[in-house]
Structure 1
């Protein structure tokens, strides 16, 4: 009886452990995808502003003489 309970406890532990690891992997994948989306939005915004002739904030300004 005690051995069966110990076996079930071990099984629960391994199920929990691998479930937790998979959750961590999933969260890391979601973070990575969100970062790609932010970069793509930033690139599109930059391309749009350059297409409309809006100067970039980090672009060198022409000096006035």
Structure 2
């Protein structure tokens, strides 16, 4: 299991650490763990979160993706 700090994850996702803090407070974002007072994110949980946040930008893109012709 590979764990990331909030700082590391903010760099990976390109968002401020404050956004991660806000997400934790309101129940958004990837699953997190508190280990000995430190917040950590499992890379696998982050991957699941990113994949579940995926959006298709248009009907055409959806059809192309669905039909396998990108």
Larger radius of gyration: 1
Identify the structure with the greater strand proportion: 2
Q: For the superposition of Structure 1 and Structure 2, which TM-score range results when normalised by the shorter chain?
A: under 0.3
| TM superposition score normalised by structure 2 | 0.21
| TM superposition score normalised by structure 1 | 0.22
Q: Which has the higher contact order (CA 8 A, sep 6+)?
A: 2
